[in-house]
C-alpha cells in the first residue's frame, strides 16, 4: 500500500483541483450557475482559499468545468456541417444540442451566460455560434430551413428547452426530444408558411 505521507504536495493539489471540478460540474448541472463558490468548496471538502487558489473567479471555474462539453457541442456542429444535406445537418444539431441541454443544465447556463472575463470560453462559444450561422445559411440555401429564421432564435430554443422540468433525467431527455421534433417542424420551410413576428435580440444573461 502507498503510504499517505508519501504523497507530494503537487499530487494533493492535483487531486483537490480534480475534485473541485467534479463537484462543480455536478452542482452546476443540478442547480445552474447561481451556486455560491463557498458551497462548491464545502461540497468538494476544501477550504475557500484552496478553491480560489485553483480558480480565482467563478468564470474561471465554469470555463474549465465545461470545457469538454463545449468541445462536444462544437463537434456536433462540425458533424452537422459535414452532412451533405444541410437541412438534415441542421436538424441533427438542434436534436443533439437539446438533448445535451436536457442532460446537463449547467453547461447550457454557461453557454448563454455573459462572462466578460472568461475570454477563452467566450471565444470558443462565438466560434461555435459562427459555425451554426454557416449551417443556417446553407440550410436556407437548399430550401430546408425557413428563410426568416435567425441565430437569436437558437438562443430562445435553448431557453425554452431549459424550462422543461420532469421527475427524472430520463424523462427530461424524452420530453426534450419531443420538443426538438416540434421545433424542427416549425422551422421547416414550406410554400405556405406564415411569416414569423419580428426577431428579437436575446442578450446573454449575466451570470452571478
Could you read off the pLDDT of 60-85 as tens digits, one per residue?
Answer: 898 888 888 888 888 999 999 999 99
Give the pLDDT confidence score for residue 1 in this predicted structure: 47
**% pLDDT > 70, the chain:** 85
* Residue from 152, 63, 156 nearest 116 by CA: 63
Of 36-45, 113-122, 158-167, 198-207, the range with the lowest mean pLDDT is: 113-122
- What CA–CA distance (Å, rounded) separates 94 from 127? 17
- Other beta carbons within 10 angstroms of residue 143's beta carbon come to 13
pLDDT number for residue 127: 85
**Whether the domain at 10-64 and the domain at 67-190 fall into the same CATH topology:** no
In sequence order, the β-bridge partners of residue 206 are 114
pLDDT in tens, 133-185: 999 999 999 999 999 999 889 888 888 888 888 888 889 899 999 999 999 99
Task: Name the band, by pLDDT with cuts 50, 70 and 90, for residue 126.
Answer: confident
The rounded distance, in Å, linking the Cα atoms of 188 and 190 is 6
Instruction: Tell whether the model's pLDDT for residue 112 goes beyond 70.
Output: no
Per-residue DSSP letters for 42-69? HHHT--HHHHHHH-SSHHHHHHHHTHHH
Query: Predicted confidence band at 12 (pLDDT cuts at 50, 70, 90)?
Result: confident
Which residues are within 8 A (CB) of 97 and not within 5 positions of it... i.e. 6 or more apart?
73, 76, 158
Nearest CA to 109 among 147, 45, 58? Answer: 58
CB 98 within 8 A of CB 189: no
Q: Are 204 and 122 in contact (CB under 8 A)?
A: no
Q: Identify the pLDDT of residue 29.
A: 76
Can you give the residue ranges of every domain in the chain?
Answer: 10-64, 67-190
Please give the average per-residue pLDDT across 91-115, as a whole number. 80
For residue 204, is pLDDT > 70? no
**What pLDDT is attached to residue 28?**
85
Backbone φ/ψ region at 126: left (φ over 0), alpha (ψ -120 to 50), beta: alpha
Q: What percent of the chain has pLDDT over 90?
A: 44
Per the prediction, the chain carries an average pLDDT of 84
CATH code given to domain 67-190: 1.10.357.10
Looking at domain 10-64, its CATH superfamily turns out to be: Homeodomain-like (1.10.10.60)
Residue 138 is predicted with a pLDDT of 98
Amino acid at each position: 500500500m502507498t503510504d499517505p505521507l508519501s504523497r507530494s504536495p503537487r499530487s494533493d493539489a492535483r487531486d483537490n483541483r480534480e475534485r473541485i471540478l467534479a463537484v462543480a460540474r455536478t452542482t452546476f448541472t443540478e442547480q445552474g450557475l447561481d451556486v455560491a463558490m463557498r458551497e462548491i468548496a464545502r461540497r468538494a471538502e476544501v477550504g475557500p482559499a484552496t478553491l480560489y487558489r485553483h480558480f480565482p473567479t467563478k468564470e474561471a471555474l465554469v470555463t474549465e468545468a465545461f470545457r469538454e462539453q463545449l468541445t462536444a457541442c462544437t463537434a456536433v456542429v462540425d458533424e452537422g456541417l459535414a452532412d451533405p444535406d444541410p437541412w438534415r445537418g441542421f436538424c441533427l444539431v438542434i436534436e443533439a444540442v437539446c438533448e445535451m441541454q436536457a442532460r446537463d443544465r449547467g453547461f447550457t447556463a454557461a453557454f448563454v451566460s455573459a462572462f466578460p472575463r472568461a475570454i477563452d470560453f467566450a471565444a470558443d462559444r462565438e466560434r461555435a455560434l459562427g459555425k451554426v450561422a454557416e449551417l443556417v445559411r446553407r440550410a436556407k440555401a437548399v430550401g430546408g430551413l425557413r428563410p426568416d429564421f435567425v441565430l437569436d432564435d437558437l438562443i430562445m430554443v435553448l431557453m425554452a428547452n431549459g424550462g422543461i422540468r420532469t421527475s427524472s433525467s430520463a424523462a427530461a431527455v424524452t420530453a426534450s426530444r419531443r420538443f426538438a421534433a416540434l421545433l424542427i417542424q416549425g422551422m421547416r420551410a414550406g410554400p405556405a408558411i406564415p411569416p414569423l413576428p419580428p426577431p428579437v435580440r436575446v442578450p446573454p444573461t449575466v451570470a452571478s
